[in-house]
Structure 1
Amino acid sequence: MIQKLLSYLIPIKIFKKKSARSKVIEVTWTNGELVLDTENTNYSYGSLQRILRYGLRNIGYDKILEMEHILLLGVAGGSVVKTLIDEIHYKGKITGVEIDPDMIQVANEYFNLNQIEQLEIVIDDAFEFVLKTKDKYDLIIIDIFEDINMPNFLFENFFSDRVCFHLKSGGFVLFNTMILDEAHNIRNRKYISEINPKLYTSKMLPRIEVHNELIIIEKVA
């Protein structure tokens, strides 16, 4: 494909759509691969896929292969789903929660998300979903952004406690955060400090991308 080859020289935009939730959704050929972006940041594939792959590798592919049910809060184009299935060869169930139906429509059309049998997509607000779900999960991936902003509720104790409540014993949370200024550094350190060390271990991974910091929580009790 000529667009794919040309993308090694210059990004080739092939789709752009306005969205009520995400403002603008774009699909672009970049360095030989399709990526999904919003106006100011990468949403799926590209650098984001590298970031979440790094987090999954830190948890351990061997542990992930033994998991039965993974919850993904924030689906976008589904790059982490592709990492789980195509690279790790995960065979269990994945539930993906995405608030923007336009994003899922684009993900289905350009990234074939609707062809993944073990993936269930739920169009819902992540906050509402964790209040309603009765399930327990081996891994909960939080990857929620509104362009370059992160909703405040993600860092509130109530939401954090509710997410951790839905972990099985020995389960993990992988939380992708964006750091744009010192206030965000302080926010992340505060978030980590408020996790109960009697029930959970937590750590921040060294950054591999300038503006993203991964937090991993493991339920030990």
Structure 2
Amino acid sequence: MIQKIFSYLIPIKIFKKRSARSKMIEVTWANGELVLDSENTNYSYGSLQRILRYGLKNIGFKTIQKMNHILVLGVAGGSVIKTLIDEIEFKGKITGVEIDADMIQIANEYFNLSQIKQLEIVIDDAFEFVLKTKSQYDLIIIDVFEDTNMPNFLFERFFSERVFSILKSQGFVLFNTMILDEKHNIRNRKYISEINPKLYSTKMLPRVEQHNELIIIEKVA
């Protein structure tokens, strides 16, 4: 495809849509791959896929292969789901929760998300879903953004405790956070300080991209 070849020289935008939830959504050929971006940040594939792959590698691909059910809060174009299936060869169930129906329509059209048989997509608010779900998960990936903003509820103790309550013993949370200023650094440190070290093992990974910090939490008890 000629667009793919030229994208090694210059990014080529092939689709643009205004979304009520995510403002502007763009699909672009960049360095030979399709990426999904919002107005100010990468949403799927590209740098975001590298960030989450790095977090999954830290948990361990072999550990993930043995899991039964993974929850992804914030699907966008589904790059982390593609990593789980194509690279890690995860064979269990994946539940993906995405608030923006426009985003899922684009993910199905450009990234073939609807062809993944083990994936169930739920159009819902991550907060609402976590309150309602009756399932237990081996891995919960939190990747919830509105452009460069992260909703405040993600860092509130009530939400964290609810997330931990639907996590199986020896299960993991992989939390992708954005750091744009010192307030965000303080927010992340406060979030970690409130996690009970007797029940959970917590680590922050060294940053692979300037503005993203990954937090990994393991339920040890």
Structure 1-normalised TM-score? 1.00
Tell me which amino acid in the other structure corresponds to 1:76.
A
Q: Partner residue of 2:192? A: 192
Q: Partner residue of 2:73? A: 73
Query: Hey, what's the Cα distance between the residues in 1 that align with 2:164 and 2:208?
Result: 26
Residue-by-residue CA offset, 1:142-182 (whole Å, 9 max, x unaligned): 00000000000000000000001111000000000000000
Query: Hey, what's the Cα distance between the residues in 1 that align with 2:210 and 2:18?
Result: 28
Tell me which amino acid in the other structure corresponds to 1:19.
S
Query: Hey, what's the Cα distance between the residues in 2 that align with 1:165 and 1:188?
Result: 21
Tell me which amino acid in the other structure corresponds to 2:24.
V
Structure 1: stretches of 5+ with no match in the other structure = none
Q: CA deviation at 1:65?
A: 0.2
Residue-by-residue CA offset, 1:37-78 (whole Å, 9 max, x unaligned): 000000000000000000000000010000000000000000
Query: Hey, what's the Cα distance between the residues in 1 that align with 2:23 and 2:46?
Result: 20
Q: Partner residue of 1:202? A: 202
Q: Secondary structure at the match of 1:104?
A: helix
Query: Hey, what's the Cα distance between the residues in 1 that align with 2:19 and 2:216?
Result: 31
Q: 1:14-163 to 2 correspondence within 5 Å?
A: 14-163=14-163
* TM-align CA RMSD: 0.3
Shift >3 Å, 4+ stretches: none
Identity %: 84
Q: CA deviation at 1:198?
A: 1.1
Q: Partner residue of 1:167? A: 167
Q: Secondary structure at the match of 2:24?
A: strand
Query: Hey, what's the Cα distance between the residues in 1 that align with 2:43 and 2:178?
Result: 12
Query: Hey, what's the Cα distance between the residues in 2 that align with 1:32 and 1:73?
Result: 27
Tell me which amino acid in the other structure corresponds to 2:153.
F
Q: CA deviation at 1:184?
A: 0.3
Structure 2: stretches of 5+ with no match in the other structure = none
